[in-house]
Chains A and B, each alone.
Chain A
Amino acid sequence: KNEVEQSPQNLTAQEGEFITINCSYSVGISALHWLQQHPGGGIVSLFMLSSGKKKHGRLIATINIQEKHSSLHITASHPRDSAVYICAVGDNQGGKLIFGQGTELSVKP
């Protein structure tokens, strides 16, 4: 069993839909990251969480430390949100992370 599990692995949505991607982990952590990867490889850091909830534009990330679970929500989804979303856990020093396998999101117009 992987230490970081994401679900679903693939997700297709219609433009405007509310999207949820889940991440469960089995190791002790100080921080959880949500990352976005577009075709071609570039990765953008969306959030780093150690507790509670963060919001940036249409993106919301929550974490429940006791349940070792995090969710990434996208409100009013748009085709430009199509990407692979990756959950990663580790310490709060950034580098040494354990990554999930990613969730491939496709938003259709």
Chain B
Amino acid sequence: DAGVTQSPTHLIKTRGQHVTLRCSPISGHKSVSWYQQVLGQGPQFIFQYYEKEERGRGNFPDRFSARQFPNYSSELNVNALLLGDSALYLCASTRASTPGELFFGEGSRLTVL
């Protein structure tokens, strides 16, 4: 079975632009979470979605938004990009039977110039 897939793997944007990152969970996994990892630091929780409903939101500005689709894939959108948004964006999925077991994608590395 395919693991969690994220796209794009790398991208470069300029300040003020908008970005959309995509995540496909493992087949059968209904929960997707997003994290931001700035270089040299641990990840920070951004959003969790379960069955297309937002289950949790971290301490991020409204420029960050997400949604989950009927096939459980998810998008993370960031508007009005700032230099400080440069980071590795990680997606993780979990299955309902073992909700604490996280499966991570390889991440999308965003550079904002």
Residues on A lying within 8 angstroms of B by beta carbon are 4, 31, 33, 35, 40-45, 48, 86, 88, 92-102
B58 within 8 A of A: yes
Q: Identify 21 residue pairs between A and B in the complex whose beta-carbon atoms are under 8 Å apart, listed by A's number.
A: A31-B100, A35-B102, A41-B106, A41-B107, A41-B109, A45-B104, A86-B43, A88-B42, A93-B55, A93-B100, A94-B94, A95-B33, A95-B45, A95-B92, A96-B48, A97-B43, A97-B45, A99-B35, A99-B43, A99-B44, A99-B45
Decide yes or no: A100 and B88 within 8 Å by CB, A31-B100, A93-B55, A95-B56 being known contacts.
no
CB atoms of A95 and B48 under 8 A apart: yes
B90's contact among A40, A43, A101, by CB below 8 Å, is which?
Answer: A43
By the criterion CB–CB under 8 Å, are B42 and A100 in contact?
A: yes
Instruction: Give the dominant DSSP class at A's interface.
Output: strand
Knowing A41-B109, A44-B104, the reply to whether A94 touches B56 (Cβ < 8 A) is: no
Count of chain A to chain B residue pairs whose CB atoms are closer than 8 Å in the complex: 77
Interface string of B55-81 (1 = CB under 8 A from A): 110100000000000000000000000
- CB of B16 within 8 A of chain A? no
* Distance in angstroms between the alpha carbons of A44 and B3 in the assembled complex: 11
Residues of B within 8 A of A102 (CB): 41-42
A94 touches B109 (CB 8 A): no
Q: Which residue of A is nearest B105, CB measured? A: A42
Q: Which residues of A contact B55 (CB under 8 A)?
A: 93, 95-96
Are B42's CB and A86's CB within 8 A? yes
Instruction: Indicate whether B86 reaches chain A with its CB closer than 8 angstroms.
Output: no
| Nearest CB in chain B: distance from A92 CB, A | 5
Residue of A nearest to B49 (CB): A95
Minimum CB–CB distance for A67 against chain B, Å: 21
**CB nearest to B41 among chain A residues:** A101
Whether A98 contacts B45 by the Cβ 8 Å rule is: yes
The yes or no answer to B99 lying at the interface (CB within 8 A) is yes
